[in-house]
Chains A and B, each alone.
Chain A
Amino acid sequence: GAVVSQHPSRVICKSGTSVKIECRSLDFQATTMFWYRQFPKKSLMLMATSNEGSKATYEQGVEKDKFLINHASLTLSTLTVTSAHPEDSSFYICSARDEAGEGDEQFFGPGTRLTVL
């Protein structure tokens, strides 16, 4: 199957700083990528849909100015958590949609664990 990478796998930062997480589709092009947040022992919560060359679409309740998304190429989307606070600590997962594949399958990155001190 298609491979999606995320970098970094884990990051620890101080409160008030910004953190950028990268999501790359390694062997396919993805005009659409998705960013999820997962709390411990909970399901994935969709934060936003990242669209190549256009603005991201955010889910209700997600602050677009806090979680900046950029999808500048067909293989890369970035999520920047601005002015991070301890409550932003979580596991962030991206996925990429392989439009050449079947059934709208999404391939997931390995996730990024963010800890804000």
Chain B
Amino acid sequence: AQTVTQSQPEMSVQEAETVTLSCTYDTSESNYYLFWYKQPPSRQMILVIRQEAYKQQNATENRFSVNFQKAAKSFSLKISDSQLGDTAMYFCAFIPGTASKLTFGTGTRLQVTL
């Protein structure tokens, strides 16, 4: 069974600063996808960024980038130039290439302050 671990229940960052959210996972699969989802107070789940395991290059989406360490089974999210609108719960998620069920981590609550 796959597991996803987010060891930081809460984090805080000042506006314009950079913050890194950690995520580790455990799987025996060789092909899989990793995601970071954002859930703001509205509770709408929003995809932030995705990474295919077979791609060595770290994914980036504007201010969001990941540090994907396949051997270490680590998938951290870096948010640069943090904005107040980044305040949300962030969930790391995993899906094997052979299945379609997402496994979510427990989430990290990020608060961006002035």
Residues of A within 8 A of B (CB): 1, 32, 34, 38, 41-44, 46, 49, 91, 93, 95, 97, 103-108, 110-111
**A4 → chain B closest CB, angstroms:** 10
Cβ–Cβ contact A43 & B100, under 8 A: no
Query: In the complex the two chains form, what is the Cα distance from A103 to B109 in whole Å?
Result: 26
Closest 10 CB pairs of A and B: A108-B45, A103-B33, A43-B104, A110-B44, A43-B106, A111-B43, A44-B104, A43-B107, A104-B95, A103-B50
Chain B interface residue count, Cβ-Cβ cutoff 8 angstroms: 22
Cβ–Cβ contact B106 & A49, under 8 A: no
Q: Considering the complex, which residues of chain B in the window 76-114 have a beta carbon less than 8 Å from any beta carbon of chain A?
A: 91, 95, 97, 100-102, 104-107, 109
Query: In the complex the two chains form, what is the Cα distance from A95 to B35 in whole Å?
Result: 15
Cβ–Cβ contact A103 & B52, under 8 A: yes
Cβ–Cβ contact B43 & A46, under 8 A: no
Cβ–Cβ contact B47 & A105, under 8 A: yes
> Does B62 sit within 8 A of A, measured CB to CB?
no
> Does B56 sit within 8 A of A, measured CB to CB?
no
| 5 A-B pairs (CB sep. < 8 Å) | A44-B104, A103-B33, A104-B100, A111-B43, A111-B44
Query: In the complex the two chains form, what is the Cα distance from A103 to B53 in whole Å?
Result: 10
Q: Considering the complex, which residues of chain B in the window 36-56 have a beta carbon less than 8 Å from any beta carbon of chain A?
A: 37, 42-47, 50, 52
What residues of B have a CB within 8 angstroms of the CB of A49 in the complex?
100-101
What residues of A have a CB within 8 angstroms of the CB of B95 in the complex?
104
Cβ–Cβ contact A43 & B105, under 8 A: yes
Cβ–Cβ contact B42 & A106, under 8 A: no
What residues of A have a CB within 8 angstroms of the CB of B46 in the complex?
108
Query: In the complex the two chains form, what is the Cα distance from A105 to B91 in whole Å?
Result: 15
Query: In the complex the two chains form, what is the Cα distance from A53 to B112 in whole Å?
Result: 45
**A105 → chain B closest CB, angstroms:** 7
